Structure 1
């Protein structure tokens, strides 16, 4: 089989397409013939050794995949060769075959294509956990979403609307604004490129306040960080919830006096930790996502598709913040 692997610390250009023996499942494992693997922001960090998990090299990045079961390991029950599945595996997805622990598999319905299946768990899973468990979302809330045109941001727009919130999408261009509107955003703020000086930061805060309205944002969904976070906190409602999801623009430094003046909560969202600590709740949320998908309330937007040979370009597209929706690598054959 072929696998796109990292052998040394570096960017996507350092990845090599290797020929490897077909994998053999161990006890409690299955081999999945990968049909689609989505690219997520942790993939861009892991190959540069900037993520909290650092697998032993060489390995293939790619944590979210969909495909069919090729082989079953000892002791695996409830699954059969040929079953359509999706899974989160940490790494190993950018390969024609991947070994997956059987307890990480989810059945992929026949009417859901592989690219969609590979685009559901991490983005929508992160967001449903964030909004329900950390943000305590309720109908009538106003939610400000930073970085709203990426895969996670679009999931926040869709799930926010599904739960009855008014959603303000913050993006960096008119092209991204159109994507956010198509996903259901009630209003859009277009911001400039950081870094911001004091006047620019204040101006952005005023943009956010105007869009959110006099009551402010009950939830801020911050996927961006950096200089964008403080203006969003300044637009938060009394007893609002500021959800820290990611920081591709850098780790924000917030004046903590703002949290006192707003009586607001700053809540970390560590989805991986949630999965490990509350697996039953995670599975229940995945079932809820399938229900929302079937009802047409969410629909992962696959914006760009690449072949395995083009996997380096796929990762670079996400790393350079060019993606509007999910970036998916599809295996041929």
Structure 2
């Protein structure tokens, strides 16, 4: 068994019970090696900050999506999927560095964020450096379609972040607006990684399109769950401050659910809390009260149900592919998206 899930290989356990075969672990190790080489500036401070961010204990879902998509399309041993998987992860890490600056987040992946350690100016430049190094790798590939996919996703990520900032403090955001925002912010890169994996495997257009749709729906589900975890997870498990989105005025599906579908008293209670700027500035008590209301109303469970629908739709896009280990692993990865705790 060259790829997919190997239940007997306990050393292959990586994220949330997902087990990878030696071949996939080898490819992921090669991705890590390339990421380390991407930190090759003449400026040692850039190397320290970028290297620190890249060494965070991330899930590496985006590289996995690209590698598995390539394998699903018959490309099991190519170097190009490994190189491009590192690009997908570097773009993601660059975005995280900038996100932490925007949100003034003290933690990322259970450690002080780059912003907390080195400050805004240095961290902005380190994120810019990773974006630029990623583009350099893409130019060296000399593949316009691959470049178009990743550059397009990067543009969408910026647009999604801008949408989120525009929505901050607005408690009348609709579910359609929220879904559009997370599609740009998160799902676009998931989709690009899946499509690129197929592109470099000489896959037919219908396979490329199907994997792109798979990644898009999976990315939406991933972000819905991520936002729900921000409200209920423990900081030690989540690796970043719990309630950070709420404290930053960001509306997510649990809040949208109560405000649009909750009972009259629950809607009124939440509106009162959200409008109480004084209590909000005090922080912890205000957040605790809102989280209690969210749990009482089953809003997180409702969010997970919606995420599950997107996961099932994502899995449906893989039905055109023949049964194989890569397909099985992508299906398990999709299920992990809604089962994870961080």
How high is the TM-score relative to the length of structure 2?
A: 0.28
- Between 1 and 2, higher relative CO (CA 8 Å, sep ≥ 6) is seen in 2
Indicate the structure with greater strand content.
1
